[in-house]
Every structure is written in structure tokens, then in C-alpha cells.
Structure 1
Amino acid sequence: MAPTLYPELFMWRVVVLFCAVLSGTPDCARVSARKVNPKIVSDVTIWTSGVEGEIAGYRTPFMTYTPNGTILALAGARKYNKKDNGKKIISLRRSTDKGVTWTPTAFLVDDGYDHGVLGAGTAFVDDDSNTTFVMFIHCQFRCAVPSVLLMNSTNDGVTWGQPRNITPQLQPGVVSHPSPGYGIRKRYEPHKGRLVVCAHGRGPDWGLSLLLSDDGGRTWRTGAFVAKRPCNDSCRGENQQHMFQLGECQPVELPDGSLLVMTRNELRCTCHCKAFLTSHDGGESLPISSLRFDQTLIEPPTDAGLLFSDGVLYFTGPNSSSKRQKMTLRWSYDNGTSWAGELPIWEKAAGYSAVTMLQKDPEDKNYLYVLYEKGFSKTGTSTAAIAFAKIQL
């Protein structure tokens, strides 16, 4: 394509190339974002609760790309009922044609018990080694300290290695449940190449932790940890509703190398909305001084999707402060300081969501992919199905 035909597009690509050469310098963080006008291309159901694979409920979707351009859609398949403490299996479907067709459902991990001990989970990619990982928790409701397990695939999710227990490498006493969503591989300094997974805890150690690996996923350790805390100095924790309790979380990396971490605001501290923290040291710490609440990103509360690409921050979640309904895409050109627009994806019941984007071909960055819990009425359950939406940017 001749640059003179589309000068604005050409200049945008030159600026992005310049930013890549700078590789995370402060000047790179000030590059203007591309402008987007999202439109839904397709929205298809890929799992139906009570139908697919004799599974009572498909919940907690999470998703990732692979270096070769395959989309992996995963979910917690709840065998007998949809409850959190029921028997679960990790389910997987793969698409090699950008969501047009999908492989039959594969079941990766059976929790081994009739009562729930498995929590799914987070997926992430090491592009250098062409390795895709799935991290999940085991013995969630049966053990004082649940185990964090990690499994990987080097052939785009066709086959997987045996899960291995990384719990002994993590901080003792901190319960780490990898949140539904995806982990990231840092592209900029500090700690370029580091793998970062956001996890949340339950029980007395309820909080948020970042799990870090600097050797491609071979070894892990606990970085930042933020415990639940009073909403403000006047609340001493006697009333739990006055606590800031962190839940499912999602990190993204910004062009200056900082990590922006979104968390579920479980007890609705300050507002019925999402909370954010920022790390400037590669996930070693998440200063509470960076905590902010986003009044625009209202929530019921629930898990939500977050992704940063080419200067644009994308968010997916229910557009409601009280009910899991109205799945909506929002986008920001200033790292979430303000939100430039919104696109309704589904007007009826909708819950958890995850987002991804293919990385191999520049043309692939014109599409965003959303996996979300879907219901078929405004007042009914949001867990009737899991749907996959393809959105042109």
C-alpha cells in the first residue's frame, strides 16, 4: 500500500515503529493512540451449560492466543452443578481461523474428586519458546493451603504436559488463586521478559498477589501482595462491608514498562466499580498509594477483561452496578484516566469475561476477541452459555 494514499495510517505506523525502537523509554509512553471504531463481526455460543459434554455449567472463561495464531478458549466445566464448590474440569476449544470454527471440546484436567477442589485459571504465552501455559489452583475447598499447578503446551494447545506443583516456590501462607484471564510477558524494562500472573486469595489471607518468573516459567516466586484493608482510616475493619477486599484481577503492561492491575472490588469499597493499582518495578510491589477507583467501570461485582494494544486500553464487563447483565466494551486513549467510547456486546444477562488479540500479523491487531458468560434473558442467569465475540476495531 502506497504511503501517499493513506498518509495518516502511514504516519501512525512510523510512530509505532519508532516507539518499538525506543523499547520502553518514557518518550514511548507519550505516543498518540490509534483511533478505533469497534463493531461486532460475530457473536457465537461455543459452550452451552447442561448440553455440551454432559456438563451442568460452563463458568469462569479465560483465553489466550498462541504464537502461531491459534485462539485458545478455556473455562471451568462444572460437572454436577454450577456452584463454586462443585466438581470441576478445565475445558478447552481451539480455533485456527480466528474464531470461525472450533475444535470439539477437550477436557484438560479433572480435579479427581466429586467435590470441588480445582479453580480455573489463567493462560499465558512465552513467545520466545513458543510455549503456552495454564496455571490453576487445586484442593481449593479441601486443603488449608491449596496448591498452585502449572501445565504447558508447545504445539498450540493440541497436547499438554503433566501439571506440576509450584506452591513450594511461592510465599508461604499467601493463598494464590490465578484469576480467570491471562498472564503477561513484559515487553519493556524494568524486567523485560518477565512472566507476570495476577492471583487472588480466599479466607484469612484474602488479597491480591503477583506471581513472577524470570526464566520462562521454570521457576516462580511471589512478588507484590496487597491484603484486604479498611476502606479508609475511620473504618477499623469491624464492619466487613467497610473493607476493601480484592478479587479476580488482570494485569496489563503500559508502554513505559509499568503494570496496571485491575481488581474486582468485592465489597464495593467507595463505589460499585473497579479498582486499579500500578507497579513501576515489574511487579515487585503494588503501592497502596497508587490505588484508585474508576467510577465509570461499574460492576455487580464480577470478573472482567482488560487488554492494552497500540496505545488503547480495552475493558469488557457488565454495564451495571447491581446485576450481571449488559456486556459492554469500553476503550481509553489515556491508560484508563478517561473512557472514549463504549460498544454494547450483549444486552441481556452476562457475567465474567476475558479478552485477547492475535499478535503474529499486524492485520490481526484490527480485531479484538471477547469470551464471556452469557444468559438469554435480562433477569435470568448469566451462566447459561459461554459466547465468543469477534470485534473489528
Structure 2
Amino acid sequence: MKPSDFIGGILVIISLCFFPSCDTLSPVITHKQELWVSQKQGEVHTYRTPILVKLPTGDLLAFSAPRKNTSADKSAKFITLRRSTDGGLHWDVTRIIEDDYDVEDGLNLGSVIIDKITNTTYVFFGYCQHTPGTCTSPYREKGVYFKISRDWGYTWTPAINVKETNSALEGITWAPGPGFGIQKELEPNKGRLIGCGHHVDVAFYQMQCIYSDDHGKTWHMNSPLYGLPYAQKHITGDFTPGETQVIELSNGTVFVTIRNENKFHCHCRLQSLSYDGGYSFLIPHLTVQEALVDPSVFGSLALLNNTLFLSHPYNTDSRINMTLQWSFDSGQTWPGAMQLYEGPSEYSSLAQIDDEYLGLLFERDGYKYIDFFKIRIK
């Protein structure tokens, strides 16, 4: 299908119902737009890792981390940003907010966290995460960095190493996101900033989150959800929690959906709950969700009118069939689903636009495009 056919074609919606209750929702795609096209915009080889967030001002920010010369994770990249002031109908030009120049193992986006109390936006990224030992980059050392905007993304500080806020975080091989973080709006730990991700060291694969209780002055790592077997190379079937999206439920509980890296138990997603403000995700609160068929990939979350939504490729082995699934009981069951795009579909990011609409940013067709969908939930 040509891009022009894709954008101008009829909006086809296919609903997949697993339980009778799913017919209480009938989502409708009302707008589609290509935001980035690989190898055609800005001499970029591949646009990857979309992140979509809504600011308290109502603006939408769309982030991506284009790869300059190759599609590989270990490559030179930069971070781009586009803005919409009208709920996703129109987007301004692409701006570059961070560049790692020509390094062999550059940055990896990352997580976007908004502090609604101080009106501050943070963008986290890992650097030199795929090189064992010391980073050879002449520009910066291995570790996790963040940029700060105090004017809703129009200007940004230079990148700051998290070790500057906490020396214990020097050189960590932790990959944030790639998605959005949260600020807890309810107790416990109201006001806490949280961004989740995973460690990329193969032997010590684990899901872990970063958090701050002082509005970003200092950052700390929470208690890990360790992969098993511990300190050994993992194989198919092992418990290997990977890339993670976090959200706060309406009762203050922290919920995460987790990439099931080595397909532990089934070709499906993992999820967990934290009752201590995201400090720990204990095994008794971990669920293997067989209803969330998944090929091992990042998935995103949104909460709209007390309904929890998940976007991901619904397929056992291949990254195809981008699907929106939903839960009326905070993720215990997932009775409803709608196919959004049947072709190759990869990483995605959801955001609530208002009380009626969700926005979706996702990779499609073998990472050739990053598209925005506006979805009416009714």
C-alpha cells in the first residue's frame, strides 16, 4: 500500500470481541497522519521509538529517536520533537533537541516525565548502553542522562548525567522506557516522579524504575524485578522482564505492562502492580496475561474514564496487527479489542487527549513510518 493510499483511504475498523462486555465500547479512528518517514526526511535512515505525551497546557508532544546510518540499536542517533496545539490534527515542524553526532553506540530514548507541580518536563535517555566496559565516545561517558524543559518543550537544558543527582547511579546500564513516565497524583507517595525500564546487561536482565521525591533534584532506582535464572544468560522460556510502560490507576496503585522478552509461560505480556508508590513490584503481584497475545515488544498504556487501554502488536510471533485492547477492571481482565492496523506494527505510545479521545503514535511497515492516529472512544 502506498503512503498516499494509506492516509487517504477509508478508515476500516475491525473489532475483536473476546467477551460480551466488549461491545460497550466502539472506538473509531477519526484522523491519521504520517509524522516521520524513514530515509525520506532529514536524511535519516530509520525513525524509531515514538513517545507521545499530553502537556497540562493541552498541547501534544511527539518524540522519536532517529537512527542516522543504520536501523541497529547500537548506532548514532538524535532526539526529535513535534508539537500539536489542536489535539493532533496539525503538527509543527520537526525539531532536534539532542544529537550524539557520529558515535558508534549513541543515545537510546528514553522516557518523558512531566512534573505538573513545577511545570517541568524531563526527557531521559541511555548512552553507550550496548558496549561492554568503558564507553569509547569522546563526547560523554556511559550512563543515563536527562534534559529539562521549563517552558513545555520549547527550550531544553544540556543533557545532565543522573550521577550528578546521585553518585550511586554512575555508569548504570539501565534503559529507560521507551515510553512516558508518571507523576503520582494520589497517595501513597503523591507527587513522586516515576519512569520505568530495564537493564540491558544480558546476564542481569531485570525490570527497574527510576524515581524522584524532590521534583527531580535527586533520582533513585527502585527495587528490581529480577529475571530468572539470575546472573546467567537467558534462553527462550526464561523469565526475562524487559521494556516497561508505567501508569497510575484510579486508586493510586502503580501498574506496569512488561515486555515478556523470552516468552515466559506463553507468547503474551506480563504485568505487575505496586502498592508502595512504585518502589517495588513483587512476584505475588505479577500476572502472566494470556489474553494479551504478544510477540515480545514494547506496549503502551492509557487510562480514560477509568478504562485501561493497551496498544501493542497482537500476534504470537510477528510484529504485525497493531491492536487496542481495554480493561474495565484495572487490568485483571481484557475483554475488548480493536485492530488499528493489520500490517507490520512495532513500538507504540498512547496518550489521553481529552475525555473522548486517545492519541496513538506507532511504528509501521518495518519501521518505515511513524504515524499518529486520533481515536474516539465511545
- TM-score (ref. length: structure 1): 0.84
From 119, 124, 148, give the equivalent of 1:130. Answer: 119
Match of 1:193 in 2: 191
Identity over aligned pairs, percent: 34
- Structure 2 vs 1, CA of residues 239 and 127 (structure 1 numbering), >3 Å: closer, same or farther? closer
| Alpha-carbon spacing, 1:269–1:174, altered in 2? closer, same or farther (3 Å) | farther
Q: 2:150 aligns with which of 150, 154, 159?
A: 154
Q: Deviations over 1:110-155 (max 9, x none)?
A: 1133312210111121112221111111122346373111111122
Q: Deviations over 1:218-258 (max 9, x none)?
A: 21111121121149xxxx96872232111110111112211
Equivalence map 1:198-347=2 (5 Å)? 198-203=196-201, 204-230=203-229, 240-347=235-342
Deviation at 1:171, TM superposition (A): 5.0
Q: Compute the displacement of 1:156 (Å).
A: 2.1
CA distance in 1, matches of 2:73, 2:174: 16
Give the distance between the partners of 2:97 and 2:241, measured in 1 at CA. Answer: 29
| Aligned counterparts of 2:262 and 2:308: Cα–Cα separation in 1 | 25
Partner Cα separation in structure 2 for residue 173 and residue 283 of structure 1: 23
Q: Tell me which residue corresponds to 1:26.
A: none
- Whether contact under 8 Å (1:183, 1:195) holds in the other structure is yes
> When you count helix as a share of all residues, which structure comes out higher?
1
Give, in whole Å, the separation in 2 of the partners of 1:290 and 1:69: 34
Relative to structure 1, is the Cα distance of residues 157 and 258 closer, same or farther in structure 2, using a 3 angstrom cutoff?
same
Moved more, 171-180 or 294-303: 171-180
Secondary structure at the aligned position of 2:315 is classed as coil
2:375 corresponds to which residue? 391
Amino acid at match of 1:368: L
> Judging changes above 3 Å, is the alpha-carbon distance between structure 1 residues 150 and 47 closer, same or farther for their aligned structure 2 residues?
same
Number of equivalenced pairs: 344
Residues 333/388 of structure 1: CA separation in 2 closer, same or farther (3 Å cut) = same
SS at match of 1:268: coil
Whether the 8 Å CA contact 2:193–2:211 is kept in 1: the answer is yes
| 1:181 equivalenced with 2:179 (yes/no) | yes
Deviations 1:316-345 (A, max 9, x none): 011111111111111110011112311211
Give the Cα separation in 2 of the matches to 1:239 and 1:192.
37
AA aligned to 1:251 is: V
Residues 144 and 172, structure 2, Cα contact 8 Å, conserved in 1: no
TM-score (norm 2): 0.87
Moved over 4 A (4+): 170-174, 236-239
Please, what is the CA RMSD of the aligned residues?
Answer: 1.9
Give the whole-Å Cα distance in 1 for the aligned partners of 2:300 and 2:160.
Answer: 27
Question: Structure 1 regions of 5+ residues with no counterpart?
Answer: 1-34, 359-363, 376-380
Counterpart residue type for residue 226 of structure 1: L
Change (3 A) 1:36 1:167: farther
